[in-house]
Amino acid sequence: MVALPARAGPVMGAPLTARQARIALSLARGRTQKEVAAEIGVNKTTIVRNLAIARRKAGARTTPQLVAMVALARERDRLRRELAEAPTDLVKEDAL
């Protein structure tokens, strides 16, 4: 008996696609999967599939955990951009 190779799937740690991130952020804003599907113009099954793939990539066990991870990452990125754009004279050299 010959073993078939396992189907390649998303690798944990791989970045989310723009659609996967958009779906997670929409859920973070309180939309339902059905509302997100209508907003994007896809079937709810597509949303469920994208979330399953995104959970695996992010290492999240549940959709709420994934949503929290994506929302926190987005906030972190926003703060980094804000700090990068802040005037440097506001930071004292001796404070570093």
Model pLDDT for residues 16-69, shown as the tens digit of each residue? 999 999 999 999 999 999 999 999 999 999 999 999 999 999 999 999 999 999
Contacts of 52 (CB under 8 A, 6+ apart): none
Q: How confident is the model at residue 4 (pLDDT cuts 50, 70, 90)?
A: very low
Q: Judge whether 3 lies within some domain.
A: no
Query: Do residues 8 and 50 make contact, with C-beta atoms less than 8 angstroms apart?
Result: no
Write the pLDDT tens digit of every residue in 54-95.
999 999 999 999 999 999 999 999 999 988 887 776 655 555
Give the range of the structural domain holding residue 38, as residue numbers without chain letter: 18-88
**Is 36 part of a structural domain of the chain?**
yes
1 is a domain residue: no
Residue 12 forms part of a structural domain: no
Which pair of tokens denotes residue 95?
A: 């404070």
Q: How many domains does the chain have?
A: 1
Which CATH number characterizes residue 53's domain? 1.10.10
Please check whether residue 56 lies inside any domain of the structure.
Answer: yes
